[in-house]
């Protein structure tokens, strides 16, 4: 059995890496399953076996990026405060990198991507707020978590639209601040905890250079 499953595992990884390079080189729209298939000398069906569409490839790359950020943060255990602080640092890192150029923003905030994130990332958001709630001994029902996820994802889309409209009104660090502040409110944390954790999160992010990943490299 390993002889059958191992090639599939390797092909999935190869698809990810080729797609990652093409996203950086050509952008989201110009990267197609046909181009990926031609590069790997496989059929498009071999790609759809692992990934239904490009969004699922980007979703996997996004998960890899956040896993790298979390591992980096957790490599400084003495700095750790709580789950809300950790997620604040992760989002500060992520937004600073993703918003750095139109090319990078186009990968994560493509118009089609944004609609799909609001559907596919609900469970991820629920888990984030579940982590924070458990750390602070807050009681959230499954309904609470679902609605909180909807509110979070809806606010992200509106904030991004406002950022594109006038980035001078909402510079990137203020963008980060309001996003994680809103998360703190949705998590039902008190004002003092939110303020303290955000200050400490920015201090940590400024003091520790985050890891880089290929999907963010080589952008103009």
Instruction: Mark whether 36 and 93 lie in a shared domain.
Output: no
Instruction: Mark whether 97 and 192 lie in a shared domain.
Output: yes
Cβ pair 188, 138 in contact under 8 A: yes
Comparing 115 with 163, the larger pLDDT belongs to 163
> Given this model, what pLDDT does residue 213 score?
83
Instruction: Mark whether 203 and 172 lie in a shared domain.
Output: yes
In which residue are the tokens 């181009």 written? 35
Q: Has residue 121 got a pLDDT over 90?
A: no
Q: At which of 17, 35, 51 does a domain end?
A: 51
Across 59-82, average pLDDT: 95
pLDDT in tens, 2-32: 444 445 559 999 999 999 999 988 888 889 9
Instruction: Mark whether 147 and 205 lie in a shared domain.
Output: yes
Instruction: Mark whether 80 and 151 lie in a shared domain.
Output: yes
How does residue 219 score in pLDDT terms, banded at 50, 70 and 90? very low
Q: Has residue 154 got a pLDDT over 70?
A: yes
Top-ranked range on mean pLDDT: pick from 120-129, 197-206, 208-217: 197-206
Backbone dihedral angles phi then psi of residue 54, each to the nearest 5 degrees: -65, -35
How many other CB atoms sit within 10 Å of the CB of residue 169? 10
Q: At which of 51, 68, 88 does a domain end?
A: 51
> Given this model, what pLDDT does residue 165 score?
84
Across 175-202, average pLDDT: 98
Q: Give the residue from 154, 153, 132, 130 showing the smallest Cα distance to 141.
A: 130
What mean pLDDT, rounded, does the chain reach? 89
Residue 214's Cβ-count burial label (10 Å; 0-12, 13-18, 19+) is middle
Instruction: Mark whether 75 and 91 lie in a shared domain.
Output: yes
Instruction: Mark whether 5 and 100 lie in a shared domain.
Output: no
Instruction: Mark whether 42 and 66 lie in a shared domain.
Output: no
C-alpha span between 38 and 43 (Å, rounded)? 8
> Given this model, what pLDDT does residue 135 score?
97
Total number of domains constituting the chain: 2
Q: Has residue 102 got a pLDDT over 90?
A: no
Instruction: Mark whether 47 and 65 lie in a shared domain.
Output: no
CATH number at residue 37: 1.10.10.60
How many other CB atoms sit within 10 Å of the CB of residue 74? 11
> Given this model, what pLDDT does residue 120 score?
80
Instruction: Mark whether 14 and 81 lie in a shared domain.
Output: no
Instruction: Mark whether 59 and 4 lie in a shared domain.
Output: no
C-alpha span between 107 and 72 (Å, rounded)? 23
Give the range of the structural domain holding residue 117, as residue numbers without chain letter: 55-216
Q: Has residue 113 got a pLDDT over 60?
A: yes
Instruction: Mark whether 78 and 31 lie in a shared domain.
Output: no
How does residue 104 score in pLDDT terms, banded at 50, 70 and 90? confident
């Amino acid at each position: 059995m390993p002889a059958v499953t191992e090639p599939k595992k390797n092909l999935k990884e190869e698809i990810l890496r080729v797609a990652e390079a093409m996203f950086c080189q050509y952008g989201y729209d110009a990267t197609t399953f046909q181009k990926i298939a031609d590069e790997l000398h496989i059929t498009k069906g071999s790609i759809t076996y692992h990934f239904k569409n490009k969004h699922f490839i980007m979703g996997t790359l996004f998960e890899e990026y956040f896993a790298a950020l979390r591992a980096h943060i957790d490599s400084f255990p003495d700095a750790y405060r709580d789950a809300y602080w950790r997620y604040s640092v992760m989002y500060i890192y992520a937004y600073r990198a993703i918003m750095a150029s139109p090319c990078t923003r186009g990968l994560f905030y493509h118009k089609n991507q944004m609609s799909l994130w609001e559907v596919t990332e609900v469970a991820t958001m629920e888990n984030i707020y579940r982590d924070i709630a458990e750390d602070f001994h807050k009681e959230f029902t499954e309904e609470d978590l679902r609605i909180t996820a909807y509110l979070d994802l809806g606010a992200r889309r509106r904030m991004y639209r406002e950022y594109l409209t006038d980035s001078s009104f909402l510079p990137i660090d203020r963008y980060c601040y309001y996003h994680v502040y809103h998360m703190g409110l949705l998590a039902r944390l008190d004002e003092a905890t939110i303020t303290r954790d955000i200050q400490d999160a920015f201090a940590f992010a400024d003091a520790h250079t985050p890891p880089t990943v290929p999907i963010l490299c080589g952008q103009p």
